[in-house]
Amino acid sequence: MDKKVLWITRTAILTALLVVLQLAASLFGNPYVVGSIVNMMLIVSVMTGGLATGLTVAAVSPFMAKLLGVGPFWSLIPFIMAGNMMLSLVWHFVGDIKKGPKVVSQITALVVAAAAKFLALYFGIVRLAVPLLLKLPEPQASVISALFSVQQLITASIGGILAIVILGTLGKTKLGRY
């Protein structure tokens, strides 16, 4: 099969799977469940499909989620994309280091990527977008700020743990590149 067709197919399937899981998880009404699943899928995407797939899923999925009614304000989408891309970049460059035990690079990636995503979203949304772009009334500004602060650190960490389990399972199969 043509490599470009394979890449497009893999990327489309991973994006669709992320969005469908996000929709299903949103039925629980718990942002910790939704965020953990989204982060897990971002990591699985970059680790099984490669950097281009991971960055594409990270960029496209917030738009798809918003179109399906589970995303926040349109003006926050670029910041969410940036946070997702930070997570994907760290997992690509740190989580797949071939030196030493794989679990060490994965745990390092989990910690560094969770911190990187948290910082990108905190400074982008809580410190910049909410006060300067959205100009929301205080109760609503506090809710949005809470969604994009420490909660992101927690959900990126849980998503990383789930991804490590899934990647370990995939590593025993012939799926993906992992």
Q: How far is CA 22 from the centre of its chain?
A: 11
Nearest residue to 31 via CA among 147, 119, 145, 139:
147
Tens digit of each residue's pLDDT (9 = 90 or more) over 111-169 = 999 999 999 999 999 999 999 999 889 999 999 999 999 999 999 999 999 999 999 88
Asked if 15 contacts 38 with a C-beta cutoff of 8 angstroms, the reply is no
Predicted structure pTM score: 0.92
Whole-number Å distance between alpha carbons of 103 and 47? 13
**Which one-letter amino acid corresponds to residue 172?**
K
Q: What domains, with CATH codes, occur in the chain? A: 3-170 (1.10.1760.20)
Q: The tokens of 75 are what? A: 């003006």
Q: The tokens of 134 are what? A: 């959205």
Tens digit of each residue's pLDDT (9 = 90 or more) over 83-110 = 999 999 999 999 988 788 888 999 999 9
